[in-house]
Amino acid sequence: MSVLQVARGVAWRTLHVIVTTPSLLLPGMLFPLFFFTAFAGGLSQVREVPGFDYAGDYTSFQFVFVLLQSAAFGGVFTGFGIARDFEGGFGKRLLLASPNRLGILLGYALAALGRWGITAAVLTAVALAVGMDVGGGPVDLVGLYTLALLVNVAALLWASGIALRFRTIQVGPLMQMPVFLLLFFAPVYVPLALLTGWIETVARYNPITYVLEAGRGFMSGAPTEVALAFAAGLGLITVFVVWALRGLRSAEAAG
């Protein structure tokens, strides 16, 4: 089988299992919806803080963060599925049956994108239904969702590297916690300029900060930090591709 044939098979099976199993599909969908409701609704008065210079409304400000969060956790939750496949023995059979093992990793990446696509569609529909202000045009929105796609792929590659090394769902927290911390050490509630102290220092060195700032710029129709954001996203993918491929070799060596 070719790489693409293996990838299609792995992606179809993974998506089929996710879509037909509510306990796998719903957490990844309800988690970002909960955060969107809590942040955009419960914290809307933060918009009145002096110096809060974002051009759009607070709903759109928080939507961008939650969209990126949903993309990241769509990748991580797919990593859980990889670990589950190997723990149950399917992953080992998949390695034996697939001469082009890069297709396995590509298939899981396609499944992560498909999984996130469902969540993103629901999240976007909910945000528009509650009157979210969209200041950006079609090109801006393509830029926003492309950044989210890069975050999804990077998170999947990180999680798959962990899953392929340990091959057990018990390492789920190890996949999830670094991603969670990276997201929440970015400027979640206010723009970067309003952060102070150690959190401001950490945020400035956090690559997700620039992806988030650029995404909010796209949403408001005032793009900013675009080159830096795409460089950060592609840089994370480059690093984690190596991490994931080494994890795949570890799984192959383990038999």
The answer to whether the beta carbons of residues 218 and 143 sit under 8 Å apart is yes
Q: How many independent structural domains does the chain possess?
A: 1
Closest residue by Cα to residue 72 from 189, 206, 175, 187: 175
Q: Specify the pLDDT at position 30.
A: 87
Q: Specify the pLDDT at position 242.
A: 96
In whole angstroms, what is the distance from residue 75 CA to residue 116 CA? 8
In whole angstroms, what is the distance from residue 144 CA to residue 139 CA? 9
Q: Specify the pLDDT at position 1.
A: 64
Could you state, in chain order, the average pLDDT of each consecutive group of 10 residues for the chain (255 residues)?
84 91 84 84 75 87 95 95 90 81 91 95 94 92 97 97 94 94 92 90 95 95 92 96 94 81
Query: Rounded to the nearest 5 degrees, what angle is found at the Cα of 120, between the Cα atoms of 118 and 123?
Result: 110
What is the Rg, in whole angstroms, of the alpha carbon atoms belonging to the chain?
Answer: 19
Q: Specify the pLDDT at position 43.
A: 67
Look up the domain containing 21 and give its range. 3-254
CA 193 to chain centre: 24
